[in-house]
Amino acid sequence: MIYQHRDGELRIYSGTTIGSKTTAAVYAEVLFVNAGFNAPIARTRPAEILVMDRGVYTADAEYKKGMDEEKMAPLPISFEFKCIDDVTTQYMLRMLSGTSPCVVKGKTLRSSKGESMIDGVSTPQFADTSKQAWDMEVLWDGVTDMGFRWREVFIPGDQLVVTEGEDEVVVAVAGMVYGDVTRTIAFSGGVSLNSPYMPT
């Protein structure tokens, strides 16, 4: 069996706090149809810098770890989806716009920025507090399910593009992953934006 886009699902999660109450994350979901999903499956590690004796390679040569900017650098992520004529599309577009405050179904969704760690250290908040980041997860169904989780994804406004075709409207999304990247075999818990039981 080969993993295929028709057997996959993408979820976009808010941070874990809504308003002043700590609750489960809230998510919007997309079933893949020609999604063209493209994302890294691991974070970059710092470079190995060879230190030699005045440029001469000897038995005393050793590697030193490079700067941490490399492992903290944001990573590209992109996908696209066909818009359907119901509220699901509206919820998705509102979240992807990535600006604060993000209000969906009367609830203010919190950014996930600063909720993950890289090498055991919490990631910092954005300097621009109007930006919001979300966690994204993809899961492909199979004999053994395969999935990945990208934390703290920010979508710049100019990277959220709508294209009208002859028989469909497609939204193309490109963003940057500022948090951790991990594998998963099951979606994280949360409440769907389509659920009538949204947290208060």
Burial class (CB in 10 A: 0-12, 13-18, 19+), 133: buried
pTM: 0.86
Q: Average per-residue pLDDT in the chain?
A: 86
Q: Is the confidence at residue 180, as pLDDT, over 60? A: yes
Q: What's at 25, amino acid-wise?
A: A
Site of tokens 């001469």: 56
| Residue-wise DSSP of 39-60 | --SSPPPPPEEEE-BTTB--TT
Three-state DSSP at 56 gives strand
Domains in the chain (CATH in brackets) are 5-43+73-192 (2.30.110)
pLDDT band of 157, cuts 50, 70, 90: confident
Residues 110-144: pLDDT tens digits? 899 999 999 999 999 999 988 999 999 999 888 88
Q: Flag the least confident range among 42-46, 70-74, 88-92, 134-138.
A: 88-92
